[in-house]
Amino acid sequence: MTTRKYGWLAGKIVFAIVYFVFAGELFLRVFAPEPILPRYVCATPYGIRGNEANRNYWHTTPEYRINIRTNSAGIRADKEISYEKCSGVKRIVLLGDSFGMGYGVDLEDTFSSQMEKALHAAGWPCEVVNLSVSGHGTAEQLITLREQGFKYQPDLVLVAWHGSDLQDNVRANLYRLEDGGVVQASKTYLPGVKTRELLFQFAVYRWMAEYSHMYSCLRENAAHLIKYTVLPAIRSLSNADDSEEEPSEDTQEQRVAYYEKLSLALIREIDKECSAHRSNLLILDIPVKLGRMEFMSTFPTEGDRSHGFKIFCPIDIFKKQNGKKLYWEESQGHFTPFGCCLVGEGLAAMIIESGLLEKRDCQSGE
């Protein structure tokens, strides 16, 4: 009798769980569709995240459905790209996060594709090598450039700056400030990668990641909790940082000041590496959308100075569009195809005007 009762209770629990999952999935699909944006990232041999190779998957939101494909090097591209570049063709290496990778638009609509198209039309044959990875901050971009970027012999390195980089660079703990520069603090930053690789071995989990609204909702909320609550708490309890320049008092103003100093030091390090390889550097400052007619730069300029960097910020161009939709509004806020077109054409115009596809004097920018 007792065994039957326990069996009946277990059956009710299983039924309740299954009912909750199916009811939740049905409710979200019909009344509150969740953006389904699977991220296929993996560990690289140099200790940070990279895109999984040879992937073909879909991003689906209430506003769009787009296809993402990666080649054998994990680059979002429809072709293989050799390290050797063709004679007479200029190379641009793009470093960025999900904005750089082109979330929200098909490959031909990404700002990198639009930039390449505009440069070709202006008589500058070029090829963009997009090494962006969703979630990357400047620290991971520096490592990517050193380990992979320069192998593609770039004439220009384009860094897509986003406001999230400020916290990402600290959270990664790959570098710390020392004597105004950066030194390596850790050799790896692979948040959740091993767990994801294990789970993706199961077909049921892969299906949920690509098609389930319920899973997407739970994953995004859990990721937000870990990213903005759990990890900062662990970091503050562990070796706070042996750098004397990091603030000891946990005030918002001090934190932001430290984040900006670290980010600027990382960009200076990228610029130094570019100079040594005679590659030019251009920074795309991706504005934060405050409204359809209001945008804000997050690049840490310490006043009005750009620190000698070439920076393209499309705010003035965006303000002239009379409130047209430049960012998706229900799907994590990436650029729309129209927004990408404006950014790509603006980048191409600045590259041509500033002569950034010409060889750099290795002494400049020092």
For domain 33-79+92-354, the CATH class is alpha beta
Judge whether residue 309 has pLDDT over 90.
yes
User: What whole-number distance in Å separates Cα of residue 345 and Cα of residue 109?
Assistant: 12
**Percent of the chain scoring above 90 in pLDDT:** 65
| Whole-prediction pTM | 0.86
Which run of H or of E encompasses 4? helix 2-31
pLDDT-derived band at 197 (thresholds 50, 70, 90) equals confident
CA distances from 268 to 3, 100, 286 (A): 69, 20, 18
Q: Mean pLDDT over residues 134-153, rounded?
A: 98
Judge whether residue 14 has pLDDT over 90.
no
Q: Mean pLDDT over residues 209-227, rounded?
A: 66
Asked whether the beta carbons of 300 and 260 are under 8 A apart, the reply is yes
In terms of pLDDT, which residue wins out, 13 or 66? 66
Q: Mean pLDDT over residues 189-217, rounded?
A: 78
pLDDT-derived band at 331 (thresholds 50, 70, 90) equals confident
Judge whether residue 336 has pLDDT over 50.
yes
User: What whole-number distance in Å separates Cα of residue 167 and Cα of residue 232?
Assistant: 10
Classify the phi-psi angles of 180: left when phi > 0, otherwise alpha if psi is within -120 to 50, otherwise beta: left
Judge whether residue 217 has pLDDT over 70.
no
CA distances from 321 to 99, 103, 325, 343 (A): 20, 22, 9, 13
Q: Which residues does 86 contact at the CB level (< 8 Å), separation at least 6?
A: 127
Locus of tokens 């065994």: 3
Q: Where are the domains of the chain?
A: 1-32, 33-79+92-354
Longest Cα separation, the chain = 86
Asked whether the beta carbons of 212 and 25 are under 8 A apart, the reply is yes
Residue 41 phi, psi dihedral angles, 5° rounding: -115, 155
Judge whether residue 295 has pLDDT over 50.
yes
Strand 310-312 to 280-285 pairing? parallel
Asked which of 170-174, 179-183, 237-241, 353-357 is least confident by mean pLDDT, the reply is 237-241
Judge whether residue 243 has pLDDT over 90.
no
Alpha helices in the chain (DSSP H): 2-31, 98-101, 111-121, 138-147, 165-172, 193-199, 203-211, 213-225, 231-237, 252-276, 315-319, 337-354
Judge whether residue 129 has pLDDT over 50.
yes
User: What whole-number distance in Å separates Cα of residue 300 and Cα of residue 263?
Assistant: 8
- What is the per-residue DSSP string for 334-365? PBPHHHHHHHHHHHHHHHHHHTTTSPPPTTTT
Asked whether the beta carbons of 101 and 62 are under 8 A apart, the reply is no
pLDDT score recorded for residue 359: 80
Asked whether the beta carbons of 169 and 262 are under 8 A apart, the reply is yes
Q: Which amino acid does the sequence have at 256?
A: V
Judge whether residue 364 has pLDDT over 50.
no
**Percent of the chain scoring above 70 in pLDDT:** 78
* C-alpha R_g of the chain: 22
